[in-house]
């Protein structure tokens, strides 16, 4: 696999279970050495010069190692010392990241007393405390409520304006909302790599969104040649998976006229990462 992260972008790394995503994340953060190939962070080889390369990496694992008996300030001081930061710049950095992450008033509180959302904010704060160029976030919104997810998403977008961010998550709408580019892994390979904006064009070949004034049954639609999936979106609307080699568009129009379905909408769906993800990871062989 060949993965390039550009400065000032948020990259979404996706993959089904067993795709190799976790292994890739461990290698990118220097916790696992690759069996072959190389990893360069800001021009520094992560295998040959791990200490120097890791100075440029901030990492939030899926389960952050937060010490519940420490206060937020104590934990951030510990994280800073582990990064080798001197006392004066460390305190300035702590004040800065607390304000940046919306936890300025939590310094004296025990980590164990914070909500899951605030614990994630503390986890992100420790990841950017030493001002890294690359920030790696593994499932940062797992277990959060919708308001907390929205807040963390906004924070991720803001981080992407200043740094390079890799976001690993299984929540596909989060990738569409927070990322500039997406890489989809399947069976250890990158099977899709493009911008979120390019998903619209890719999705055009995978699905159709249709609406009927007098809709047929899902079974009737599924019987149209070239349609391989039917998903009801509402009383009169459907999302149809289509075979790129057998476009059902003309047949849908023809049957609508003959059967009186009253077709009023026939268009590609809006960008739907789910369509691309399912299409590219459906085949267990990876072909």
* pLDDT tens by residue, 31-80: 999 989 999 999 999 999 999 999 999 999 988 889 999 999 999 999 99
Q: What is the pTM of this model?
A: 0.76
270 contacts 196 by C-beta, under 8 angstroms: no
Cβ atoms within 10 Å of 109's Cβ, excluding its own: 15
DSSP classification of residue 87: H
Domain ranges (residues) in the chain: 10-199, 205-267
Helix (H) or strand (E) holding 119: helix 116-128
The per-residue pLDDT for 214 is 97
Confidence category of residue 142, pLDDT binned at 50, 70, 90: confident
Q: What is the pLDDT of residue 19?
A: 87
- In terms of phi and psi (left: phi > 0; alpha: psi -120 to 50; beta: otherwise), the region of 85 is beta
Judged against a pLDDT cut of 50, whether residue 246 lies above it is answered with: yes
Q: How large is the average pLDDT for residues 234-250?
A: 89
Looking at residue 255, its pLDDT comes to 97
Beta strand ranges found along the chain (DSSP E): 10-14, 40-41, 44-45, 57-60, 134-138, 164-168, 181-186, 189-195, 207-212, 227-232, 237-242, 263-267
CATH class of 10-199: alpha beta
Residue pLDDT, tens place only, 162-214:
899 999 988 888 888 899 999 999 988 898 888 887 776 666 667 889 999 99
Question: What percentage of residues in the chain have a pLDDT greater than 70?
Answer: 95
> Does 285 score more than 50 pLDDT?
no
pLDDT, position 271 = 57
Task: Work out the average pLDDT over 211-230.
Answer: 95
| pLDDT, the chain, mean | 90
Name the CATH architecture for the domain at 205-267: 2-Layer Sandwich (3.30)
Between 186 and 17, whose confidence is greater? 186
Query: Residue 22: is its pLDDT beyond 90?
Result: no
**285 DSSP 8-state letter:** T
- pLDDT classification of 280: cutoffs 50, 70, 90: confident
pLDDT of the residue at 159: 92
Per-residue pLDDT tens over the stretch 106-120: 999 999 999 999 999
Residue 286 is predicted with a pLDDT of 46
């Amino acid at each position: 696999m060949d993965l390039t992260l550009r400065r000032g972008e948020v990259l979404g790394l996706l993959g089904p279970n067993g795709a190799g995503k976790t292994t890739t994340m461990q290698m990118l953060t220097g916790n696992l050495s690759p069996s072959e190939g190389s990893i360069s962070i800001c021009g520094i080889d992560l295998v040959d010069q791990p200490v120097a390369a890791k100075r440029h990496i901030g990492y939030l694992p899926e389960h952050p190692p937060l010490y519940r008996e420490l206060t937020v300030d104590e934990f951030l001081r510990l994280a800073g010392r582990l990064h080798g930061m001197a006392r004066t710049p460390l305190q300035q950095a702590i004040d800065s990241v607390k304000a940046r992450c919306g936890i300025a008033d939590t310094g004296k509180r025990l980590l164990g007393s914070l909500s899951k959302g605030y614990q994630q904010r503390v986890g992100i704060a420790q990841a950017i405390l030493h001002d890294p160029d690359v920030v790696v976030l593994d499932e940062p919104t797992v277990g959060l409520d919708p308001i907390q997810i929205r807040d963390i998403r906004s924070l991720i977008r803001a981080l992407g304006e200043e740094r390079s961010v890799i976001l690993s998550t299984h929540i596909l709408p989060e990738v569409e909302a927070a990322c500039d580019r997406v890489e989809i892994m399947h069976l250890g390979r990158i099977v899709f790599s493009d911008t979120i904006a390019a998903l619209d064009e890719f999705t055009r070949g995978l699905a159709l969104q249709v609406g009927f004034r007098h809709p047929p049954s899902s079974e009737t639609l599924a019987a149209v040649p070239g349609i391989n999936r039917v998903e009801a979106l509402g009383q009169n609307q459907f999302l149809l998976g289509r075979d790129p080699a057998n476009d059902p568009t003309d047949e849908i129009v023809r049957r609508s006229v003959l059967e009186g379905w009253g077709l009023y909408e026939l268009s590609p769906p809006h960008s739907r990462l789910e369509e691309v993800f399912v299409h590219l990871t459906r085949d267990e062989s990876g072909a």
